Amino acid sequence: MAEPAVKANELVKWFGEGEARTVAVRGVSFEARFGEMLYIVGPSGSGKTTLLSMISGILRPNEGTVTVEDQDIWSLASDQIAEFRLNRVGFVFQDYHLFPRLTTLENVAIPLILKKRDWRESLNTAMEYLEIVGLKDRAQLPPVKLSGGEQQRVAIARAIAGRPDLLIFDEPTASLDGDTGRKIVDFVKNNILNDQRCIIIVTHDSRIYEYSDRIMRMEDGRITGVEQGGAREE
Ligand SMILES: Nc1ncnc2c1ncn2[C@@H]1O[C@H](COP(=O)(O)OP(=O)(O)OP(=O)(O)O)[C@@H](O)[C@H]1O
């Protein structure tokens, strides 16, 4: 049995106060292991994005702890949390989070440049990842010139270019056609996932369920079940 990469313990998150309070996550505990693709599924508003944000160092929980490889991340100082996000986590969000004033290539190179790698080497590596997601010919364009699906592929290239050990994807294939979505997840599964990495994917896209190792279901801020995914044995 692989070691856990992420341990969430009794996480609670609410937004607003008094009558306006919404409790998004109501005491969630789970483990995600190295070497697995864990999917989190559930209806809209069930707390999936809020949970991802807490385990990836973006959103501080009101209660509970998140341990990533024996490090209680929310006990760290804020600059250490920022460092954790930069060095250990790759993100792909529903709305891409690309920088509009940078080229597509520079967007993919950002995590490498922030890690103080050489500028030219970063751009070369970024180009390799753009090629992998089929967008080498868009390298010099700003993201606004790309379709939604293409922007999502840029976000995926950026997340994997830094080769982080924890990859967090929030609806990564929502605006991709079936073939492109499967191709990208297939690539991530076969080339990025390894025994030192853990990939957590929130998705409604049943076309990519076959790549999951486990599927965790959420409803109304709680986990309602965990089942084996559709991943085929090697
Ligand atoms: N910043 C916020 N301020 C107020 N309420 C919020 C905020 N973020 C989330 N919520 C509320 O928390 C609940 C859970 O939202 P969350 O986005 O985590 O769900 P989700 O399962 O990811 O939904 P979706 O599948 O639509 O992305 C919802 O009721 C949502 O309205």
Per-residue pLDDT band at 84 (split at 50, 70, 90)? very high
User: Strand 71-72's sheet: what is its strand order?
Assistant: 22-33, 4-15, 63-68, 71-72
Residue 132: per-residue pLDDT: 84
Tell me the H-state helices in the chain: 48-55, 78-88, 104-114, 119-132, 148-161, 178-187
Q: Phi/psi class of residue 51: alpha, beta or left (left: φ > 0; alpha: ψ in -120 to 50)?
A: alpha
- Which of 23-32, 36-45, 62-71, 172-181 comes out lowest in average pLDDT? 172-181
Share of the chain above pLDDT 90, in %: 64
Residue 43 Cα to ligand 1 middle (Å): 11
Looking at the predicted structure, is the pLDDT value of residue 118 above 80? yes
> Per-residue pLDDT tens for 12-58?
999 999 999 999 999 999 999 999 999 999 999 999 999 999 999 99
DSSP state of 143: G
Structural contact between residues 32 and 198, judged by C-beta atoms closer than 8 angstroms? yes
Looking at the predicted structure, is the pLDDT value of residue 215 above 90? yes
Residue 162: per-residue pLDDT: 83
Looking at the predicted structure, is the pLDDT value of residue 210 above 50? yes
Helices 104-114 and 148-161, interaxial angle, to 10°?
20
Residue 55 Cα to ligand 1 middle (Å): 15
Average pLDDT, the chain: 90
Looking at the predicted structure, is the pLDDT value of residue 231 above 60? no
Strand partners, 41: 217
Which protein residue's CA is at the shortest distance from atom 7 of ligand 1?
15
Share of the chain above pLDDT 70, in %: 97
Structural contact between residues 222 and 28, judged by C-beta atoms closer than 8 angstroms? yes
**pTM of structure:** 0.86
Measured on CA atoms in the order 90, 96, 99, 102, is the torsion positive or negative?
positive
From CA 205, how far away is CA 41, in angstroms rounded?
A: 9
Distances (CA, A) of 43 to 49, 191, 209, 228: 11, 30, 16, 19
CATH number listed for the domain at residues 36-49+77-228: 3.40.50.300
User: Any idea where the domains of the chain sit in the sequence?
Assistant: 36-49+77-228
Mutate to test the pocket of ligand 1, among 22, 41, 62, 201 (most ligand atoms within 8 A of CB): 22
Looking at the predicted structure, is the pLDDT value of residue 86 above 80? yes
Which protein residue's CA is at the shortest distance from atom 26 of ligand 1?
44
Structural contact between residues 61 and 13, judged by C-beta atoms closer than 8 angstroms? yes
Looking at the predicted structure, is the pLDDT value of residue 149 above 70? yes
| SS3 labels along 177-205 | CHHHHHHHHHHHHHHHCCCCCEEEEECCC
Determine the average pLDDT of the residues in 125-131.
94
